[in-house]
Amino acid sequence: MEKVDILKQTDIFYDLTRPQLEMVASICDERTVKLGDIIFEESTKSDEMYVIARGTVEILVDPTIVGGPASKKRGAGLVTIATLRSGQTFGEVALVDQGLRTASARCSETEAHLLIVPRGRFIKLCDTYPELGYRVMRNIAGDLAFKIRGSDLAIREQLLWRPRPSG
């Protein structure tokens, strides 16, 4: 499948024109990962976003980073918080800022094919074509708002269903 067709299927790029999609496609790198391959790790530098062209990717967090109930050994108790499929994106925050990754990503299918949007090239494209930049950043904001709302609901659910101390 052509890069432009893959990008067109994603929420972040859905309302771009064909020429705009072609510009984004021109800055994308490609990567194929195998089952169990770590794409990136939590708390590492972030400077690229990923689009799943084919396959499945798990997003994982390590509860031990904040003293969670998992093993004391870091990385021993990774928890899957999302499973993403073709047409979905992950790592979007890297296009907004260069903070540390808030989760890990791992290939969860025999093979996954990814498009990689490097932050530096993307920012340069947005500076050169502000309308494209505005549309994509608006869509990223909407995507992140949706994810934050989902996380907020999950946190509330955990707080409400936590066993109360007997007293």
Assign domain 3-161 to its CATH architecture: Sandwich (2.60)
- Within its chain, how far is the Cα of 87 from the centroid? 12
Identify the weakest region by mean pLDDT among 38-47, 140-149, 153-162. 153-162
pLDDT bin (cut points 50, 70, 90) of residue 27 is very high
Residue type, 128: T
- Residue 70's pLDDT is 45
User: What letters, b where the CB count within 10 A reaches 16 and e where it falls short, cover 112-145?
Assistant: bbbbebbbeebeebbeebeebbebbeebbeebee
pLDDT tens figures, 36-79:
999 999 999 999 999 999 999 999 988 887 654 544 555 457 88
d(CA 148, CA 129): 28
pLDDT bin (cut points 50, 70, 90) of residue 164 is low
- Residue 165's pLDDT is 66
- Residue 67's pLDDT is 57
pLDDT above 70 covers a percentage of the chain that reads 89
CA-closest candidate to residue 39, choices 52, 25, 24:
52
pLDDT tens figures, 76-130:
578 888 899 999 999 998 998 888 998 999 999 999 999 999 999 999 999 999 9
The yes-or-no verdict on residue 141 having pLDDT over 60 is yes
- Residue 144's pLDDT is 87
CA-closest candidate to residue 116, choices 47, 61, 57:
47
Mean pLDDT of 19-31: 97
Q: Quick check: helix, strand or coil at residue 14?
A: coil
CA-closest candidate to residue 113, choices 58, 26, 41, 55:
55
